[in-house]
Amino acid sequence: SITVASNSSTQLQTKRDQLQTIYNDLTEERDQLQTSYNNLTEDRDQLQTSYNNLTEERDQLQTIYNDLTEERDQLQIRWFYFSDSVYYISSTKKTWQDSRNDCLWRGADLVIINSRQEQDFLRQHQKEMWIGLTDRQWEGVWKWVDGSPLTTSFWYSGEPNSHRGNEDCVEINSINIVYNWNDETCENENFWICEKKMIS
């Protein structure tokens, strides 16, 4: 009976050792699985971050594309290219200040004419159109909308004459000749020309 008890004890010890080994193996396998899970979670988070970054970049590119498409469409409708600028010729009439406000809204300003070539390009439209020249600040001191002084001019014969004393804004006359500028009352309504410098 002592022998039987001893054998039973040995068998139990062996089983306990086997179970301990199985437990240790399972614990190690669990730890490996936990490590794999953690690595996969980290990979997933990195992929999510990359996806978010790509989505943001895609949205930014879409915005740029939309802006460029809108700018292209604007250029195709009533915008004309000449030298290093694009010009918008209005189809409606406004006062000088309202015309300038419209140009500013378009990211441009009333045209500044710097050369005979530019004058020739603009006068061919044969409309009475506001340009960005005024002496509203000081009578007789003509300045462009960017604050620069008048150096090259194309006044019509007898102009500027400040008729009735309140002609402080300048229009291109509808007569298709080189010297066709006329000073006019700023509250008159004319067509107008916007100019936007191209980015070089």
* Residue ranges covered by each domain of the chain: 1-77, 80-197
pLDDT digits (tens, 9 = 90+) for 143-184: 999 999 999 999 999 888 876 668 899 999 988 789 999 999
Residue 48 is predicted with a pLDDT of 92
Residue 84 binned pLDDT confidence (cut-offs 50, 70, 90)? confident
For the full predicted model, state whether its pTM sits above 0.75.
no
Q: In the predicted model, what is the mean pLDDT of residues 9-16?
A: 84
Q: In the predicted model, what is the mean pLDDT of residues 37-55?
A: 91
Residue 200 scores a pLDDT above 70: no
Residue 75 binned pLDDT confidence (cut-offs 50, 70, 90)? low
Residue 5 is predicted with a pLDDT of 65
HSE-CB at 197 with a 13 A cutoff on CA atoms is 6
What is the percent of the chain where pLDDT is above 70? Answer: 92
CATH top-level class of 80-197: alpha beta
User: DSSP state, 150?
Assistant: P
Residue 39 scores a pLDDT above 70: yes
Number of residues written out for the chain? 200
Residue 198 binned pLDDT confidence (cut-offs 50, 70, 90)? confident
Q: How many other C-beta atoms can be found within 10 angstroms of the C-beta atom of residue 83? A: 13
| Burial tier of 32 (Cβ tally within 10 Å: 0-12, 13-18, 19+) | exposed
Handedness of CA 170, 88, 121, 196 (dihedral sign): positive
Residue 194 binned pLDDT confidence (cut-offs 50, 70, 90)? very high
Residue 76 binned pLDDT confidence (cut-offs 50, 70, 90)? low
Residue 68 binned pLDDT confidence (cut-offs 50, 70, 90)? confident
d(CA 194, CA 91): 12
Q: Token pair for residue 174? A: 């509808």
pLDDT digits (tens, 9 = 90+) for 120-131: 999 888 889 999
Residue 14 is predicted with a pLDDT of 87
Q: Mapped to the 3 state alphabet, what secondary structure does 72-124 carry? A: HHHHHCCEEEECCEEEEECCCCECHHHHHHHHHHCCCEECCCCCHHHHHHHHC
Residue 10 is predicted with a pLDDT of 83
Q: In the predicted model, what is the mean pLDDT of residues 100-111?
A: 96
